[in-house]
Structure 1
Amino acid sequence: MGQPEIASIPMTSALTRAARVLAARAERVLAPHGFTFDQWLVADALAREQDLSMAQLAERTQLTGPTLSRVVDRLATSALLYRQVDPADRRRAVVRLGPRGRAARAAALADLVALERELLGELGDAPEFLARLAGNG
């Protein structure tokens, strides 16, 4: 029995599986820099926009509240980011990437860009690529 045709795989399933495979490949590239994929999402969001609230970070990263709290706690413990009380609203915490976090993110970004170039080189036909990435080709 051969591989299923891409048309027989619902797009939602194919894209979800492809995203998970991509995240796993990215995590292997990020690990030597001390990042999990979720930690990378937070560091990257903070590098793009300083002083984000937890709600804003959750929106930018699509991480759930409990997961985001754990990720921020771990990054804060490593002094990669800092949590501060928002001076405009003392009930709210603001998260900021620190100098160590910026340096780690920059180093990881170079390796992640190399991975993306490799993947784009494999792209060829987009449906075929998605099928291969999702493990169906």
Structure 2
Amino acid sequence: METARLLTLAERQLTQRIATALAAAGSTVDQWRVLGLLADGRGHAMTQVAEHVILAAPTVTKVVDKLVSQGLVYRRVDDADRRRVLIYASAHGKTALRRWDAAVEAERARLEQDAGDDLAQLAEVLSRIVTRLG
């Protein structure tokens, strides 16, 4: 199906540009997405993180392990269910996320300049499609 191919091409191009901006700021797309979820301060289980970033659990574990080793996130046993471990963004992680968000925002502005109104329209259409198909 041509639509699926075009979506894949657009996603790869957009992600590559964001990845380049994030690499210059010291991050990866996956790290940025994980930390973006965790910055809400509520703590999230690995399954929630994996669903949010659309990655397999083993891959998310590697990303989180790297973020832990950098002091950007930490794990804590869930007070409500001692069998569960929740992941939180550290203060250092929230600072890093602000830097990473700024890099992504600058790239988003360049993308909008290059793509014009089409990018915003695409986001609206994709949002409706995801809602209808989900």
Superposition TM-score, scaled by structure 2 size: 0.82
Match of residue 46 from structure 1: 38
The separation in 2 between residues aligned to 1:103 and 1:48, in whole angstroms, is: 13
Larger Rg, first or second structure (1 or 2): 1
Cα displacement (A) at 1:45? 1.1
- Cα deviation 1:99-132 (Å, max 9, x = unaligned): 11100110111121111111111223739xx8xx
- Structure 2: tracts of 5 or more residues without a match: 123-134
Q: Contact 2:25/2:103 (CA < 8 Å) preserved in 1?
A: no
Question: SS where residue 95 of structure 1 aligns?
Answer: strand
- Structure 1: tracts of 5 or more residues without a match: 1-8, 131-137
The separation in 2 between residues aligned to 1:18 and 1:48, in whole angstroms, is: 29
Alignment partner of 1:79 out of 71, 81, 86:
71
What is the total number of aligned residue pairs between the two structures?
Answer: 120
Query: RMSD in angstroms over aligned alpha carbons?
Result: 1.9
Q: Specify the code of the residue in structure 1 equivalent to 2:107.
A: L
Alignment partner of 1:111 out of 103, 117, 123:
103
Superposition TM-score, scaled by structure 1 size: 0.80
The separation in 1 between residues aligned to 2:85 and 2:77, in whole angstroms, is: 5
The separation in 1 between residues aligned to 2:116 and 2:84, in whole angstroms, is: 47
Q: Identity of counterpart residues, as a percentage?
A: 38
Flag as ranges the 4+ runs of structure 1 deviating above 6 A: none
Greater fraction strand: 1
The separation in 2 between residues aligned to 1:49 and 1:17, in whole angstroms, is: 34
